[in-house]
Amino acid sequence: MCDKTGRVVVEGIYGSPGTIDFTPMVRSAKKIIGTYGGPIAWDRMIAWLSANSHYAKLPTAVITHRSGLDDAEAAFERSVHKENIKELFIL
């Protein structure tokens, strides 16, 4: 969902291994960054927000929209047009 040549930040400890197809990431020159909270993560995030200040002006609530699966197409359109931060699907 990130722009071409964008960055994907992975944070946290997961209960089981995940799988990901890296081919689309490689073809679009995306970067993957791992972080594990704490002061280092906060410093990195503050530095990133300083360099990308337009993101700091977004709404402060992380979950900006709640949708049912029947509204999934509209939810993904919002993501494509950067009209949401976090879309929560209610089942």
Task: Write the pLDDT tens digit of every residue in 50-90.
Answer: 887 776 666 566 788 899 999 999 999 988 888 887 888 88
Q: Locate the domains of the chain by residue range.
A: 1-56, 58-91
Task: Find the mean pLDDT for residues 16-44.
Answer: 81
| 0.75 exceeded by pTM | no
- The set of residues, in sequence order, having a beta carbon less than 8 Å from that of 69 and lying 6+ positions away, is 89, 91
Distance CA 52, CA 6 (A): 12
Q: How many residues does the chain have?
A: 91
Q: Residue 90 corresponds to which tokens in the numbers above?
A: 């209610």
- Give the number of other CB atoms < 10 A from CB of residue 71: 16
Taking the CA atoms of 31, 35, 40 and 44 in sequence, report the sign of the dihedral they define. positive
pLDDT category at 20 given cuts 50, 70, 90 is confident
DSSP state of 14: -
